Amino acid sequence: MGASANSTHRQRHLSNGSLVTNTSACLPFLVSSPGGAAGQTGDYMCCLSYNLQPYTTDNRHIHAQVQKFGRVSSLCLIDITHDKTVKIILYEDRELNVLSSRLLQNTGLQLCNVAGIRKDLVVVQVLCQDTIKFFICSLNDASCKVVYDRKYCPENKPQLYECHISPDENFLLIIQNQMYATMYAPGSSVEHVSMVNINWERSECTERTCDNLNEQLKLACHKVSVVFDPRTNNDLVVFTSNSSDRGVISLYKPYKDYVLFKIIQFRTDCPALPGKFQNLQFMNDGSALVLSVIGTAVHPQSVASICRMQIVTAYWFNPDCYDKLGSFWYISPTLFIQYMPMISTSGRYACCGGKIYNLEDMHPYFLGTKSLKRICRDVIVDSVLAEDIEKLPLPKPLLRYLSECVADKNQNI
């Protein structure tokens, strides 16, 4: 998750008084050795796309590479975090007509970028000569399920995108990566959002109208973050801000292309807004909505004079009414190394700026008595990948129970 393998063990206090301990663990909650995944990330050319859109990669650093053998074109997906490699055949009888590498010089992009992941589904963006291809691949059976083609925007060729798959896996949202557009392609125009309906049986994609969503995001001009609500099938929560003192949280219905309502969060509630960049994410069980802001708030221990150090404020909201539950802040070493909290599968821990935080110690909202069953469940789902649950040496009923827990984050235990 970034360069923090050399961080020393020491303690400091959050603004709310919670005590945190620095650790060398950084990618994500499974790796702590300097020679592990954290020490390898610099060896791979996908690090830019990974660092700019980490919330789409579910705490996993996955490197994608196009390979050609004769007329066979394939993808090699390397899960660096967990040391796993999957090879997927794309075409057996024709080559993938990729973009010339010279057109990508000084862009920071690669021909192949991981743009999103949900459970075992990985979305890979490949820059081809005529279109941008989005391959939706399954890690479990090493196959390409669906391919979606998107034409280049003439003013913005090429670009990095984010891909969000809805909880029911029927929708794919494709949107410009806001950090890339701002930092690597300043002045680039705001492209339209693609809301794609996926037909898994036919392996087809159909683009749906989303004019109302496009209108809302265009006004924000790269100050946007979106996330699907895990408690619903496909409701999209949208956060937008501008140069004024407010941010807007909206709920969007993809089937109807309808913005249901808007909640305005003023600077008095969220002092870090509007900030440089924002990221929106849910706790994995849907119990809270987290807004992370690289902001302008002045903290008592400000490090504004320290080169490349960034103050990040994380706000926690009630997902039903968006009332603010609390906040905390921390320091991220750069803009690029996943500044937002990376929340573990159980929701117990978050990795922020290369440090591990126990969320249950931060606010009364997270406190509560847990049964031994719940504690054991939390440890296992934080430590084992969903596709590896079946390999555990446990009785079948317990394996089935754990699989259901990992597959359904909303289940109350």
Q: Which residues pair with 264 in a beta bridge?
A: 248
Q: What are phi and psi of 23, to 5 degrees?
A: -135, 170
Structure tokens at 113: 């970028």
Going from the C-alpha of 349 to that of each of 30, 50, 316, 326, 405, the distances in angstroms are 12, 21, 14, 16, 17
User: Residue 214: inside a domain, yes or no?
Assistant: no
Q: Are residues 388 and 358 in the same domain?
A: no
User: Residue 167: inside a domain, yes or no?
Assistant: yes
Last residue of a domain, one of 208, 239, 268: 208
pLDDT of residue 261: 79
Contacting residues for 42 by C-beta, under 8 A, at least 6 apart: 3
- Tell whether omega for the bond before 274 is within 30 degrees of 0, i.e. cis: yes
Virtual CA dihedral for 223, 229, 233, 238, nearest 10 degrees?
-20
Q: Are residues 146 and 102 in the same domain?
A: yes
Going from the C-alpha of 334 to that of each of 3, 34, 312, the distances in angstroms are 10, 19, 10
Q: Are residues 132 and 244 in the same domain?
A: no
Q: Are residues 270 and 318 in the same domain?
A: yes
Q: Are residues 123 and 183 in the same domain?
A: yes
User: Residue 175: inside a domain, yes or no?
Assistant: yes
Largest CA distance in the chain: 62
Last residue of a domain, one of 326, 345, 363: 363
Distance CA 330, CA 333 (A): 10
Place of tokens 């083609």: 149
Q: Using an 8 Å Cβ cutoff, are 64 and 124 in contact?
A: yes
User: Residue 215: inside a domain, yes or no?
Assistant: no
Specify burial of residue 211 (Cβ count, 10 A radius: 0-12, 13-18, 19+): exposed
Specify burial of residue 268 (Cβ count, 10 A radius: 0-12, 13-18, 19+): exposed
Single out the residue of 242, 302, 293 nearest to residue 271, CA to CA.
293
User: Residue 289: inside a domain, yes or no?
Assistant: yes
Distance CA 378, CA 345 (A): 8
pLDDT of residue 39: 35
User: Residue 390: inside a domain, yes or no?
Assistant: yes
User: Domain range for residue 387?
Assistant: 369-413
User: Residue 213: inside a domain, yes or no?
Assistant: no
Q: Are residues 182 and 55 in the same domain?
A: yes
- The number of residues making up the chain comes to 413
* Number of domains, the chain: 3
Write out the chain's pLDDT in tens, 413 residues: 333 322 222 233 333 333 333 222 223 433 333 333 333 333 444 456 666 765 555 567 788 888 888 888 999 998 877 778 999 999 988 888 888 888 888 887 888 888 988 888 999 999 998 899 999 999 888 999 999 999 998 888 888 999 999 999 999 999 998 888 888 888 888 889 999 999 999 999 999 989 999 988 888 877 888 999 988 888 999 988 876 667 888 999 998 888 887 887 777 788 888 788 888 988 877 888 999 888 764 554 444 444 457 788 888 888 888 888 888 888 877 666 667 888 777 777 777 777 777 776 655 455 455 667 777 777 777 767 666 777 778 788 877 777 776 665 433 33
Q: Are residues 74 and 193 in the same domain?
A: yes
Q: Which residues pair with 239 in a beta bridge?
A: 225, 249
Q: Are residues 25 and 70 in the same domain?
A: no
Specify burial of residue 371 (Cβ count, 10 A radius: 0-12, 13-18, 19+): exposed
User: Residue 385: inside a domain, yes or no?
Assistant: yes
Q: Using an 8 Å Cβ cutoff, are 345 and 381 in contact?
A: yes
Q: Are residues 61 and 2 in the same domain?
A: no
Q: Are residues 59 and 192 in the same domain?
A: yes
Structure tokens at 89: 């055949």
Q: Are residues 141 and 27 in the same domain?
A: no
Q: Are residues 224 and 110 in the same domain?
A: no
**What pTM was computed for the model?**
0.78
